[in-house]
Amino acid sequence: MFQKILIANRGEIALRVLRACKELGIQTVVVHSTADADAMHVRLADESVCIGPPPSRDSYLNIHQIVAACEITGADAVHPGYGFLSENAKFADILAAHNITFIGPSGDHIRIMGDKIEAKRTAKRLGIPVVPGSDGAVTDEKEAKRIAAEIGYPVIIKASAGGGGRGMKVALTEADLEIALQTARTEAGAAFGDDAVYIEKYLQKPRHIEVQVFGDGFGRGVHFGERDCSLQRRHQKVWEEANSPALNAEERSRIGGICAKAIADLGYSGAGTIEFLYENGEFYFIEMNTRLQVEHPVTEAITGIDLVHEQIRVASGGGLSVRQEDIKFNGHAIECRINAEDPRTFTPSPGTITHFHTPGGLGIRVDSGVYSGYKIPPYYDSLIGKLIVHGRNRVECMMRLRRALDEFVVDGIKTTLPLFRDLVGNADIANGDYDIHWLEKYLAKEE
Ligand code: ADP
């Protein structure tokens, strides 16, 4: 087992990882920018190293500084959290070259999944169902038209190097295709420095369902069921739940089994998430994330398994603490992402939190690094906390969520809490009847 882990992140996820390290008796080092000197994870860590000024590229993305911090403190492993360097293959390779363990998969696996064309090709080879579309990059218009006619309109053109919901264009008919192809390529080139794009069928009313997987480092793979993250705004997840209201146990075990086998065949090590669109009973792979997800706590709530403990065990060569047959799904869990944003316009609302009171009681978990008197710096993303609620079934979970949202107090800044108080009373949400476009339509109506 590791002696000392360096946490290369900030905010709620830095605290989340720190808690897991403490429970395992592992010393912790955190790195932080000058803007985060007062952060909770900095206060609670055994050691902290200031690695630079506020802009992420000078601090949380500065590989040299982070490697230097490992060497100064003698850390033997790095947990990257999510975002920042968590899916940076070069970072994983550099750490390996310094004999420091990256708590995540190999650089090569990060590289494959970071290139969407390569990821889709790999998924297909491993027997994972994918969205019908081009086999690889599409360059000329004639070829694009031929493929689109074959799969049928509407189609979506996506950047191979895309991420964060950027670099996608929909063509409803053949007349739109030429311009969609051109703009997608130009935008991808400008945004990602790589203009490779591919075409796939545009699904009109899918749900976003993702499977949590783990490779144990010894060639075995398991799945921890799925999460439904269909409630999105601008392709950003807002509310996540496990299990999906749309799946039954048989579908769960079928898609979970396919994913676990694929992970084993790939020789993957650590945590990963295989993301699908789900429509009319069919799953369509869209991408794989090679890291811990923001929404991992809903899976923890229904399985009772600490996924960060498992990541650390696997990275240290100790394998998983559970086999597939030990992973059972109990009840229902929902996570609300609480952002420091105006709940109507979603513009960021940094500033000082004058009062912070979190709900408690059975089945309630709040993952947050903020506190009364904390000043939210304007440099980073606006997530300030996550409310995760567990109940014996979805109805109990929703009742408890409504009560927890009533108790939650964040004064001094605007947050997205009022949005969740509205959603929890909505009939479609109560029925679990929503697709990936539901929230945008709901927000447009409310305006
Ligand atoms: P990113 O890496 O940028 O997040 P994804 O491939 O994960 O890109 O897609 C993000 C979102 O875009 C999906 O959750 C879905 O809402 C939408 N999307 C992607 N591909 C399709 C598709 N073929 N049909 C319909 N919507 C899609």
Q: What is the pLDDT of residues 379-426, one digit of tens each?
A: 999 999 999 999 999 999 999 999 999 999 999 999 999 999 999 999
CB 134 within 8 A of CB 200: yes
The DSSP result for 200-234, as a single string, is EEPPSS-EEEEEEEEEESSS-EEEEEEEEEEEEET
Measure Cα distances from 401 to 208, 226, 331, 332, 407 in Å: 22, 20, 14, 11, 10
Q: Out of 111, 207, 252, 291, which one is annotated catalytic?
A: 291
Centroid of ligand 1 to alpha carbon of 43 (angstroms): 38
pLDDT at residue 179, rounded to an integer = 93
pLDDT digits (tens, 9 = 90+) for 79-115: 999 999 999 999 999 999 999 999 999 999 999 999 9
Domain range annotation of the chain: 4-103, 132-201, 207-446
Ligand 1 site, residue 155, Cβ cutoff 6 A: no
Residue nearest to atom 20 of ligand 1 (CA): 286
Residue 162 CA: nearest ligand 1 atom is 3
Centroid of ligand 1 to alpha carbon of 306 (angstroms): 28
Determine whether domain 4-103 maps to CATH 3.40.50.20: yes
* 121 in catalytic set: no
Ligand 1 site, residue 60, Cβ cutoff 6 A: no
132-201 adopts what CATH topology?
Answer: Dna Ligase; domain 1 (3.30.1490)
pLDDT at residue 166, rounded to an integer = 78
pLDDT at residue 205, rounded to an integer = 96
Sign of CA dihedral 321, 322, 328, 332: positive
pLDDT at residue 372, rounded to an integer = 98
pLDDT at residue 373, rounded to an integer = 97
pLDDT at residue 165, rounded to an integer = 74
Residue nearest to atom 22 of ligand 1 (CA): 202
Centroid of ligand 1 to alpha carbon of 437 (angstroms): 11
Centroid of ligand 1 to alpha carbon of 18 (angstroms): 32
- H helix runs in 321-425, sequence order: 394-407, 417-423
What residue ranges of the chain have pLDDT lower than 70? Answer: none
Centroid of ligand 1 to alpha carbon of 158 (angstroms): 8
Residue 284 CA: nearest ligand 1 atom is 23
Task: Using most ligand atoms within 8 A of CB, pick from 166, 170, 235 the residue to mutate for ligand 1.
Answer: 235
pLDDT at residue 163, rounded to an integer = 80
**Second CATH level (architecture) for the domain 207-446:** 2-Layer Sandwich (3.30)
Sign of CA dihedral 71, 105, 271, 116: positive
End-to-end CA distance of the chain: give it in Å, rounded: 53
Comparing C-alpha atoms, which of 110, 81, 106, 109 is closest to residue 95?
Answer: 106
pLDDT at residue 411, rounded to an integer = 98
Comparing C-alpha atoms, which of 159, 156, 248 is closest to residue 209?
Answer: 248
Distance, in Å, from the CA atom of 153 to the CA atom of 138, rounded to the nearest integer, reads: 16
pLDDT at residue 446, rounded to an integer = 82
